[in-house]
Amino acid sequence: MANGRNVKIAPKGMGLNDFVAAQEGYFAAEGLNVEFDWKTFRGTQSSWKDLSYLERPQDKPYAEGEEVIQGACVWGSICNASAGMGRFVADAYGVSPWAIFVRADSSIRRPEDLKDVPVAVGMRAGSHFNVPFRLEKYLPLENIKTLNVGGFGARLKALLDGEVQAASLLPPQIAMAEQLGLRKIIEDTFHTLWWVPENSPEEVVTGYLRALDRAERALESDLPKFLPLWKNAVPPEFANHPWDFSRFGRGERFVYKPIPREEFAEVFDQVKRWGLDDYLKERSFEKLAAQASQ
């Protein structure tokens, strides 16, 4: 749509909705000329070992004044907005799988076996926040350890190379780990949110959500048609592996309903308990939530 609004999007890669919406013309139907920000996306998959918060690949668009729509876990999106990086979108959320994997020869077989074992994560992102959130059922907080490795390509590679004993993984690396013969120790699901520049027009945010919702219905009606699109989410270092995308599953699901307000409040309580609240500033829902409407 030549006269539409130009929008830059860095896909999370945890689900297929962005790729389906682009392929099927749903973004264009909403008047959005979408350009995928592959630089930021591939950066989020790479190593962040030597980077601090606010220096991660997903932080750079805000530091450099670029307007990019992104997504993250519910904790990350709210905390990023609170730290001064954009606004989170409260009008929809995602539901994504999560799991911790070890190598097949590992002696770790239960969540309790992860006591004092550093788990590879991407700092202050879904792979990080999920570790204390899920392991607290099995271990005291002081025995839950994380190691900042970075994006999922880096975490999966570190696990395969023996640099770490365990890695926190999201889609599609969960399916990749299964096909590589790695062993799952614990799995669950978590909520994700979208994360937009502070000045994103309401019609852009709403149009984007509508396109994702339409993609969700397409996925529900004919999932096998779209599974090959997972190739877009595989990082370069794993691109030549003979992946069977038909076994990758759905990944993140899009839910076009507002995130429960109580979940917003819980985020601040949880990150404080985990010692991850040091960058938080604004805590008002009204000031941190982007404007959108169904």
Whether 69 and 143 map to the same domain: the answer is: no
Which pLDDT score, from 0 to 100, does residue 4 have? 81
- For 20, 48, 89, 150, 211, the CA distances from 200, given in Å and listed in that order, are 22, 27, 11, 28, 16
Give 141: exposed, middle or buried? Use CB within 10 Å, 0-12, 13-18, 19+.
exposed
Which pLDDT score, from 0 to 100, does residue 275 have? 94
Domain around 136:
97-189
End residue of a domain, out of 133, 165, 189: 189
Q: The CATH number of the domain where 267 resides is what?
A: 3.40.190.10
Structure tokens belonging to residue 243:
């992946």
Residues of the chain with pLDDT under 50: 1-2
Whether 48 and 109 map to the same domain: the answer is: no
End residue of a domain, out of 128, 160, 189: 189
End residue of a domain, out of 172, 189, 206: 189
Residue 294 is assigned to a structural domain of this protein: no
Q: Could you give the dihedral angle defined by the CA atoms of residues 76, 79, 83 and 86, in that order, rounded to the nearest 10 degrees?
A: 70
Cα-trace Rg, the chain: 18
How many residues does this entry show for the chain?
294
Residue 18 is assigned to a structural domain of this protein: yes
Number of domains in the chain: 2
pTM score of the predicted model: 0.94
Whether 216 and 79 map to the same domain: the answer is: yes
Structure tokens belonging to residue 98:
């999560």
Which pLDDT score, from 0 to 100, does residue 152 have? 87
Whether 174 and 119 map to the same domain: the answer is: yes
Which pLDDT score, from 0 to 100, does residue 54 have? 87
147 bridge partner residues:
120
End-to-end Cα, the chain, rounded Å: 22
Whether 195 and 248 map to the same domain: the answer is: yes
Residue 293 is assigned to a structural domain of this protein: no
Q: Could you give the dihedral angle defined by the CA atoms of residues 83, 86, 92 and 94, in that order, rounded to the nearest 10 degrees?
A: -60
Residue 241 is assigned to a structural domain of this protein: yes
Whether 103 and 165 map to the same domain: the answer is: yes
Which pLDDT score, from 0 to 100, does residue 51 have? 86
Distance CA 250, CA 222 (A): 11
